[in-house]
Structure formats: structure tokens, C-alpha cells
Structure 1
Amino acid sequence: MLKVYYLITFLINYLVPLILKFRLLKKKEDPNRYKEKLGKYTKDTPDEYIWFHASSLGELKSIEKLIEPLMSNFYGNYKALITTSTKSSGDYAKNISNDQIIHQYAPIDTPQIIIRFLNHWKPTIGIFIEAEIWPNLIIECENKNIPLILLNARFSPSSLRKWRLIQNVFVTIMRNFKIITTMSKTIKEKLTLMGLNNAEFIGNLKFYNSANQIESKKNANNFVGMSIHPGELKFLISAHQKILQTQKKFTSIIIPRHINKIYKFEQLLKNLNCTYTKYSENNKITSGIILIDKYNIAEKFFNYSNVVFMGGSFIKHGGQNPLEPARKNCKVLHGPSIYNFDEIYEFLKKNNVSSLVKNEDDLAKQIQLNLNNAYVKNFNNIIDSYGLEIFNNTLNKVKNFINNEIK
């Protein structure tokens, strides 16, 4: 099976430039840097690198705080190479890049590109985050004796069911990681049942955020819909219209999961005959429906509301990470599909911070019930304390791994 994958990706390699150019037209790639995904680089590599490989913005934020203490306190003779795949993560990486931390877009998983990438950067060690399972990349690292660790491993139930169909292939790939730390106990148990003895659970890194700051700007008229998918918009609009009947200054701040798909939200709102304002028009929150159309500003809106609905949960997507609004002492509402973050939601539910909503009527009821919410106050301290313990355990795990592998 791996040989078939190798052959298919070897042939696909010749189509990859065309695919990337098509994505450029869709504004899904950085026009100045997309060639990095082809293994073509403008930077020289005279240094030794510890390589941190993530996928998107969320994964990068999970590993960001590990990079700084590792590179400054323990391994100052090395530079950090960060690779990510999405444009939003590349934009964010500019904020943390410096003389010692370099960001590049991750190589497409074809044999030719992977070899160019590894021959150019020659990483000493690879530290992967969450769900970055690319067979050619992982196997070629093994061929070049580049030790790998996978942190905060995340697999949805559907992805594990698919991997079980080719379990021997999955185990062959995953055994190339010296250590796998999992996002949940459930995932660790499932990996062990599949035949992996290199998995362990030390806590979910997403609980940690050293930069969390609380601002007292809560407004009982404001509601936030975070990481909303197009198929969920109708539920939020229905709830908005119901609440507006009794609360004339009610405001719904809608943050799409993918800002580059803002046009879909605009078309849906027009089809629903809804008046709305794009945030970029005046950078202010006014009454009505506000559509957020800027990158990397979502977190600040949690300071403006007591209640947040997390998207990806009214559709079969598995939910989105609810910790950011919980850290801002918001009541977190969600639909029934939360399997990607079930243990986080279990933690929030135990502390009375999250609630399940089943439909738009239930959503409207829960929003109104929690607009004046005050009982989530100081929950951020509970998360921060728990997250710090997980962070320190993970940091020690990675430090020991690097010390054992660097001779």
C-alpha cells in the first residue's frame, strides 16, 4: 500500500505546480512564497535546525510557547525551523519569526519535493504537532535518520476507522515516531489497541496559554458565533431574529471558520434578506449582525460578550476548540458534534462553563439566558493552572527526547 501511495504521489508531483497556481487564483496561497511548498527556497542553510512541523494556525499556537524556552534556554546553538501549510498560519508566523526562528511553508507530500526539502534544510530532529501524518515525509525522515516525536496527537473517530482498514500501513508509519503524546486518554487507548506501544497521554497542550489577558468590556447585548461554517449560519440568524424581537440592541458577531470564504457568508445573508456590516468597514461593533472579515482578531471579541457559540458542532465536523472563549470567562454553547474536543468539553461541562444546544430555538433560549452571565467569572484561573502543569510536563518530555537524540 505504501508503494502504491509512493507511485501515485510521484506522478502527482508533476501536477502540483498547476494545482498551486489554481489555489493562487483563489487567494488560498501566498503569491510570494508558494514555491516553498515545491521545495524551492531562497534562504541558505548554514545552520543546524530543530524542526517544528504543524499544519494550521491552531496547531502553530499550540506549539509556539514550547519553541521559545527550548531554543533560548536549552538549544541556543540551533535554529528553529517552523513549517506550516495554511496561509493564515504563515501570516501569524511572521509575528514570531526572528534571527533564531525561521518559518517556511510545509512541502507537499510527493517524493521529489520531500527529498528537496530534507536535503536543503537537513533538520537534526523533527517535532510534529497533532495530526500531521504524511507518509512520504515521515518515511524519508526515517531513511535519513531524523528522529521524530508527535505531540498532542489528534485523530477523529472517522479518521481512525479509515486507518483501521489499512492498520498495518498505519502502524508502519506511526512507529517512525519515537514518542507520541496524545490529546486525550481515549486516543492513547485506541492507538495502543492498534498495536502502537509508543503512545502516552500527559495532557492536552491546548489548555496552555501564557499570554491570556482579561479585559472588562463585556456587553449584555453582544453574542459571538466563533468558527462558524456556512451550513451553520442559518441557525445563528434564526436565533438572532428571535432575540431581536425583545432586545432591540442585540448584536451577533459572526466569525467564519475560514475568512477566505467570507463571500459565501455574504451571499447566504443576502439570500436570507439580512442586513449586515463587515467589520473592516469601520472596525467598530454596532447593533445588528457584524461579519468579521479580518484574520487573527477573533480572540478580542470574547472580551465583548458573556456567551459564545462554537461552530463546527451543528454539522458533522467534530467542533472547534472552545478554550479561547472559556479563558475569557464566556459561557460556551455548542451543538451535538464535538468529538474532536470531547475531553475539553467534558472539562468545561464539569465546571458548568459549556452547554449543549440542539437547534435554533434552543440556541436562542441559551443565548438569552447567558447574555448577563456572571457565574463563569475567574474560570480562566482554573484553565491556566491546569494548562501550566501540562505545558511543563510536555516541555520536559521534549527536552529529554532532544537530549537523548542529540549526541
Structure 2
Amino acid sequence: MNRFFYTNTLRLIAPIALWLLERRARKAGGKWDIRGDERFGRYPHPAPAGSSIAHGDDEGYAETIFTFRRPVWVHAVSLGETRAAHPLIQALLDQGFPVLLTHMTATGRAQGARMFAEAIGQGMLCQAWVPYDFPEAVRGFLEHWKPRCGILIEREIWPNMVAEANRQKMPLIVASARFSESAYKQAHWLGSVMRNALAGLDLVLTQSRVDSARLDDLGVKRMQVVGNLKFDLNISYSQVHAGQVVRQVINRQVVAIASTRDGEEEYFLKAIKALVKNHERQAGQEVALPPPLFMIIPRHPQRFREVETLIQQSGLTYRCRSQNPINDDLKTIDILLCDSVGDMFFYYAMSDLAIVAGSFGEYGGQNHIEPCALGVPVIVGPHTENFQQSVEDALSEGAARRTQNEEEAIKLALKILNNEEQRLGMSKAAKQWLSLHEGATDRIMSALKPYLR
């Protein structure tokens, strides 16, 4: 497939694609601007001199107009990439570079607004929607903002965007690049349009040698292995302290079931219900420990109410975090539904163990690094392709364990919690393992120097 055919195919399917995006936006909530001018690279006015800030009605948003003189453009498609990019963006801001931060999803944009509220207020960072990959849209975007360079986080490589950046002689870099086996197969299927896009990148900074090998096979030559940005965490120590206080007050073991995806909660709830019933049958007998408090943390906010319905149907006792349950409730209920965004370090700090979901269904896994940073032992499922190398490292270092399904994960969690020596050993291994992989931000900043002039 060449770029001409790719572009015309994109135009042909655009009505359906936009309808699907609007449907997703309605379900997710938040401000998406699916058909907004920014998405098509249309800006009614050039960036004016000076700056002004107008706060809109949507929580988490600041509609800000800045004069950016050659900003550094960072693209973080969604929530996970925005969190991962935090240390890199902060490093750029600390060195005095204005930053244009783009997103595709409302959750990513809202997270960016929260994390960089001070920089937005100071006129050092501006958020915008990334344009769709139509030639005229990306041309309008680049001509309006005139970035000195573009940094794409993990893997957001669009053929027309790369071609227009090359035409305007704007360097384009992929940082903390992850190129999975499925992405590798997709690139082969797309043929010359993706090979040319990859060849048009000025630099690719990969997470691992495996990623570099796949990209090398596709013709990318300007590469450097720098590691994973997700290891350079921006830990909220206020959240950590608050979580630790709650854990101490309730004096009860806690298991976080984090980043659950569609189809996983049902099996976790079934296993938890069996555990609770077994404990009730043994009431009055000598048992090792009462059941822990299980915190279910859905990956996507739009599924909070759906998951609450599943918990109600299970018959297990529960409260929602949004209800601000008192500590006495947390001492007795079976489930805490964690229906808030941006509080992962609070939840992990409360936890004695974390089951990182998104890995029991075929979703490729979710971020297991955050709990490891707090010394929380981790259990993952069989599907961890998105974090393949780091999961294998965590397993080999003793920081994590793997099970094949949700029921096994619950049973293994109880086994670890009943063995304090094993739990503390995994906790120590998690912290030591993480310390070996820090520093990706510094390596990326060093590699970016020629493009930041």
C-alpha cells in the first residue's frame, strides 16, 4: 500500500470512523471535540502575541492561548502515555522549553491538565488535539504551531504526519518506543506506506533490544535503546501517605485488582465470592486469616457503572470510592470499587499485594511498574505482550508471579498473604528491580539535544 492509496482509503472510511469515535466519546464522557476544527488542523486565528487564559466549564480544562516560539511538541495519545510522558515533559519544562502537548482521548487530555496545571497557568505548556492523519490537517497543525521538533510517545506513527514533518523539515522522534509483535505484523501488512513512514523518522529511542530488532527489520536505522519511560515514575507521595494511613487504620489485608478490562471482573468476582463463602462455612473454626479487602480498579472510567452492576449482581458487599466510605465500612465489606481517576498510588499504597489485570483477557497487560515502585508484590496473567520484557524481568527478579486465570490469581494472592516471609521477599525484590531500570528520562534528554536547538 502506498501513501496515495492509504490517504484515499482514510477519506473513504472517515464517516464511519468518526461515528465510531463519537460513540466511544459518548460512552466515555468528557470533552472530545471529535469534529472540532483542531482535529482537522483548522485554526481561525494565528497564535497572537502575549498570552491569555480563560477557564472553561469543563473540569480539568484550561482554554489557553499562548505565543509559542518553536515549542517542543509531545504527543501522548491517551491516559497511559500521558502518565508515562510526565518526567520527560517536566524535564523539558525545567530546561525552559515551551511544550505543546497533544492527545487523542479526553482522559489523556484531562490527566495532562491536572499534571501540568502550573505550567499551563504560567504559559509554558499548551494542550491541543492531535489532528487526524489527513494531509491538509497535519499541514495546518504544523504550520500553526511551528514546533522545533515532535516527540511521539511509545508508538503513534502516522504516514501523512511523518511526510508533512519531513516536508517542513521538522525533526520527528519516537521516545520510549514500543513495537510489539502485532505492530510488527501490521507494519508488514501495510507495506511501503509504513516502511516509508518509519524511514522518515529522525530518531527512534526504543524500550528494549527486541523493539530495536523489529524496527531494524523494517528498515529503521537511527535507533538507540534508552529503556522505558514508565520506570521514571512521578510518584505522588501525598497519595502514598494517605493510602498507608488508611491501611494502618483499617488493619486489614488489602488486594488491589488493578486496570481490569471487559470480561475480567466477572471471573474475579466469582473467585472472590467462592473465597468469602468458604470463609463463612469455616466460621468458628481456626482459619489462617479472614478474607482481605479486594479493591477493583477498572481501567476505563466509562466502565465504572457497568462494573458496579456486576458487583451488585454478585451479592458481595461493597462500597464505591466516590461515596467516601468510612474506615469502619472498609473493615467489613468485600469489595471497594475504585471509581476515581488519577489515584493509583493511593490504591497501591493501601495494598499488600496487587493483581495487575488487562492480562487475563487478551489485552496485552497493563502497567505493573507502579506497584513495584512501592514495593507491592505483583501477580499478572498470561497476556502481557505490551510489557513483555519488563514483565519477564520482574518475574525473573522475584518481584512478580504469573497465573493463567483469575481464579488462580486470587488463590495465589491468599497464599502469598499467608506467608509473610514470601510477601516481604517479593516486596524487597520489587524495589531492587525497579532501581536497576531508572534513568530513561535522562538518556532520552541526552539523545534529544541535537533536536532541541
TM-score > 0.5 by shorter chain: yes
- The two structures, once aligned, show a CA RMSD in angstroms of 2.6
SS at match of 2:361: coil
Residues 1:254 and 2:256 are matched in the alignment: no
Give the length in aligned residue pairs.
400
Change (3 A) 1:271 1:202: same
Q: State the partner residue of 1:85.
A: 104
Give the superposition deviation at 1:154: 1.3
Pair 1:124–1:306, CA change in 2 (3 A): same
CA distance in 1, matches of 2:140, 2:20: 19
Partner of 2:264: 232
Instruction: State the Cα deviation string for residues 171-206 of structure 1 (Å, max 9, x = none).
Output: 211111111111221111111122221223122221
For residues 15-54 of structure 1, the aligned pairs below 5 Å read 21-30=22-31, 35=36, 36-41=38-43, 43=65, 45=67, 47-54=69-76
Secondary structure of 1:146's counterpart equals: coil
How far does residue 292 in structure 1 lie from its aligned partner after superposition? 1.5
Deviations 1:17-64 (A, max 9, x none): 766654553344406797233434573645321111111122122222
Q: Secondary structure at the match of 1:94?
A: helix
For residues 335-350 of structure 1, what are the structure 2 equivalents within 5 Å?
335-350=381-396
Q: Tell me what 1:303 maps to.
A: 349
Specify which of 386, 393, 400 is matched with residue 354 of structure 1: 400
1:7-406 matched pairs, under 5 angstroms: 7-11=8-12, 21-30=22-31, 35=36, 36-41=38-43, 43=65, 45=67, 47-73=69-95, 76=96, 78-95=97-114, 96=116, 97-98=119-120, 99-211=123-235, 213=237, 215=241, 216-217=244-245, 218=247, 220-244=252-276, 245-246=278-279, 248=290, 250-284=292-326, 286=330, 287-371=333-417, 372=420, 373-379=423-429, 381-383=431-433, 385-402=435-452, 406=453
Distance 1:335 1:168 in 2: 36
Deviations 1:91-142 (A, max 9, x none): 1111304211111122222233222212221212111110112222222111
Residue 277 of structure 1 aligns with an amino acid whose one-letter code is R
**Structure 1 residues 10 and 360 mapped into 2: Cα distance closer, same or farther (>3 Å)?**
closer
Q: Cα gap change, 1:222/1:198 in structure 2, threshold over 3 Å: closer, same or farther?
A: same
Identity of aligned residues (%): 26
Corresponding residue SS for 2:227? coil
Contact conserved, 1:108 with 1:114, CA < 8 A, in 2?
yes
**Alpha carbons of 1:197 and 1:69: their partners in 2 closer, same or farther (altered >3 Å)?**
same
What CA distance in whole angstroms lies between the structure 2 residues aligned with 1:153 and 1:46?
Answer: 27
Contact 2:257–2:295 (8 Å) recurs in 1: yes
Q: In 2, distance between residues paired with 1:338 and 1:14?
A: 34
C-alpha distance in 2, partners of 1:33/1:255?
27
Say whether the 8 Å CA contact 2:187–2:195 is kept in structure 1: no
Q: So what's the TM-score if we normalise by structure 2?
A: 0.81
Gap regions ≥5 residues in structure 1: none
- Per-residue deviation, 1:355: 0.4
8 Å contact 2:377–2:400 — kept in the other structure?
Answer: yes
Q: Which residue of 1 aligns with 2:57?
A: none
CA–CA distance in structure 1, aligned partners of residues 382 and 22 of structure 2: 38
TM-score between the two structures when normalised by the length of structure 1: 0.89
